[in-house]
Structure 1
Amino acid sequence: MDLFNVMTLREISAKLNEIFTETTLREESLPLEKALGRILAEDQTAAEDVPHFTRSVVDGYAVRAKDTFGASESIPGFLNLVGAVEMGKPALQSVKSGEAIYVPTGGALPDGADAVVMIEYTELFGAGQIAIHRPSAPLENVMSKGDDLASGEIVLRRGSRLRPQDLGVLSALGIDRVQVFAPFQVSVLSTGDEIVPVREKPTPGQIRDINSYTISGLIEGAGGCVKRAVLVKDDFNALKLAVAEALADSDLVLLSGGSSVGEKDYTQKVIQSFEDSEILAHGLAIKPGKPTVVARVGGVPVFGLPGQPASAMMIFKAVVEPLLQKLTGEALFILADGSENLHNDKLASLLRTRTVTAVASSNIHAAPGRTTFQMVSLERRSGSLAAIPVHGKSGMISLMSRADGYIQIEPEQEGILQGEVVQVILF
C-alpha cells in the first residue's frame, strides 16, 4: 500500500482548523500560586483601582508645581519643609502654598500637592527650608489613583496563558483564585517490537524508548497533560485495545511509529477499525516527517507520528502543537473586531513560539515542493548570531540535543543562502 492523500502543511492545518472548531473544555478553579501556565476560562476584571491612592514614584518632596516654576541651579526656589510622610501610612498633613513635605518612593501624596521634586534636585537649608534647583510640572513623579489599572477594566482576557507577570497583576487586584481550563489530556502510545523500556539494556536490534519521553515533554511544554505514555507491540489487536483505552479518557491521542507503509505498520488500519473514523491525511509534504497519519475518531484527533524521534518532534511542533493550543482554549491574538483568530499562519506562529533572528552560516538545501525543517544550533560570531545547520545520518538521536531550534523553509523556497537572515524557532 502506498502513501495516499498526502497534504501540505498549510492544507492539513486548515483541515484541522475546519474540523475541530468547537471543543467543550473542562474548567477548574485554582489558587493563584498554582495557576502559572494555565489558560484563563474567563475575563479578569479589576474590581478596584491600582494604585488605590495617589503616590510618589520617587524619593523627594511633595510640592505645588507652580511653587517651583523658575527654579534653577543658579537661582533656586525656597520652600518651607513642614513634615514627612511615613511609608505604608496615609499622609497626615496637606501641602499649602510655599510648603513641601518629604515623601518616600511609593508613599502617599499629601493633599494639596500635585508634583514631587526628586531629592537629587533639592538641598536642605537651615531653619526648616529646602532649596529647589529644578522646576516640576504638574503630576511629575506622581502616579494617580487608578493610573495603573482602573476599576472595571478588563486586565486579562479569556484564553490568556498566565505568565509570572500576570500573576503579579492579579495579586495586585486581590484576586487569589482564578477559573482556568483543565489541562488537555493526551495519550502517547509508542509502537514497535524493537522498543524496550528505558531501564532495560537493549539487545542487538532493539532500542530504548525515546519518543515517550520526547513527546511527553513537548505535550507538557505546550500546556497539555500526559494521561498515559505506554509501549505497545506491533500487533493489531494489542494496538487497537490501547487506542480504545486512550480514546475513552483522552482529548487527543498520539501514536509514534507504525505510520509508514511497512508490513507491520498498523496505525492506519487500527484507526479505520473504529466507527466514525476518518483518515484526514496519510503522508505530509514535510521534511522530515512525511510518513505521518492525521485522523479523527469521533471528535478526538489522532496522530500517527513517525517513529524516528527527530521527525516525530518536528511533526509535533508543526502540526500537533498549534492544534493543541487551539483546543486548550489559548487565544493567540485578538482581531480588531474582538474576534479570535488562531490560524493566521505567520502571525500566529510568531505569537505561539519564541524566535530569534540569525544569519545562516552556510547554504541550506530544501526539499522541492515540501515544507523543510532544518535543525540549527546558535553561536555568536563576529557580533552576530549564526544559525549553524545540524546535520547527521537519519535516526541520530544526538541531533535533537545539539539543536537550539529550527528554520522553516516554505515549499516555494529553493533553500537558504549563506549569509541570509533567517528566523530561528527555538525549542
Structure 2
Amino acid sequence: MNVFNANFSSLNALKGKDGAKLGEAHIGLHKNGDLVVYTGIDFLLHPNQVRQAKDFLAENMGGDTAEKSFPLLADLLVQARRRDVSASFVAADIHAGDKFKNDPRFNHVVSTCTPAEAERFDSDKRQVLDGSIRPLQGCGIVAPSSLLDTLPVKFDFIMHDKNVNMTGGSEFPLRSEGRPKGFYVYDGAHAKADEQLPGTPYGNYFNKHAFGPDLKIIGVDNGDKGTLGIRINFDDIPENIPLLINGGALSGCTMVYGVKDGHFYAYHAGKATREDDSWTTCTDGARSIMETHAQFAGGQVPAGVFGNQVLLDFLQGSFDYAVMGYCGHDDRPDSIVKNNGSRVVSFNYNGRDAGGAVRVGNSAALLMKKDGVLSFETLNDDMSIGLQGGDIQSLDCRTTRWLSGR
C-alpha cells in the first residue's frame, strides 16, 4: 500500500498523486485510526466501515465537501467481496481515529461483564494459569494495552523478509530500548481485545476480563513478504509461569509452532499489505518459513515447487512435534494440506463456510513448566465476527497438547 499524507480539506488534493483518479476514490477508516482515501481498492476487511465512514464524513466535514464525497462511497456500499488495496492516501489532519472511537454510535468496546460472565471467567482464568489453552476458544484476539520493560523469559528472534535477512538470529533485548518491531512482550494485566478498526474489537472477552500479571504474553507479527520468528530454550522457561504466544488477527498468514531438541519455535509468515503482486503466503510464505528455520536452527530447504503441503512435510522432518495454522482456499490446491504427518498437526482457519460473515483466524500456543516437565498446548480457531465486533463465535477449532519427555 502506498501511503501519502494529504490535506483532506478538499478531495481535490488527491488529484495527480501517483495515478490516483478522483472518480475511483473510496473512503474508509484504517485500523490505526486514520481516515483513508483508497484508489483502486481491492480489499475490504470490514464492510460496515463504509457506512460508518459515510456517517463520520457527514458529521465532521459538513457542507459541500461532504456532499461531493458521498458518490465516492457508492462502489464500497455494494461491494462485499475481498480484493487488494493498490494505493491509498492518509488524511492525517482531522484526528479521525479519536473522534470515531469516542462516538458512542461507533464505539463497541465493552469493559464490564455480567455476573454469569464473571463466574465463567473465574473458571477460565484458573485453567489458563494452570496451562490449559482450551478456555480461549471463541474469545477473540488478544493484544497489548501496554508493553513490559523487561522480559519474562529469555528468547532469540529472527527476521527474514524483504526488509531484513538475519542469518542466525539474535538474543532479544532484555529491556525495551532498541527492541525490533514486530515483537510484543506484555502480560495479562496489560492486555485488551485487538480491534479491526477503532472501536470495533475482535470480541470483548479481553476487554471485560484480565488474567493478571502471572500470564506472560509474547506477540509475533508476520514479516513483510516474509517471516518473523522466536526460539525459547526449555531451560529458560520459569516454573509455574504460563507463557502465551500468539500472532494476532490472522487473515491469510501462516503460523507454525514447534519443538525440537529442547527448544520451542514460533514462526509467522505473511505480508504487511494486500498489494496486488505475485507474492503469496501459501507458496512464498511457505518457502520463507522453511528458509527462516534453516537459518535459525540449521538444515536444508527442499528445492522445487512450494506450497502448504510441502511446508508440512518439511516440518515433519524438522521437528519432534509441530502445529501449523494456515488459510486455505479451494481454488488454490497448493494452499491446502491433504496429508498430516505423524508429528505435525495442521488447521485451515478458512475451512468452514462462514455464510459471507466477516471472519478472523487465531493461532496461539501456551507453554507451562511444572516439576521440570513442559506442556505445550496450541489453539487454532476460525471465528466469525458480527458487524459491531463484539459478537464473535468459533466456527471451527482445534487444540493440541504435547508434553516433554513423553
TM-score band by shorter chain is under 0.3
Structure with larger Rg = 1
Q: TM-score, normalised by structure 1?
A: 0.23
Structure 2-normalised TM-score?
0.23
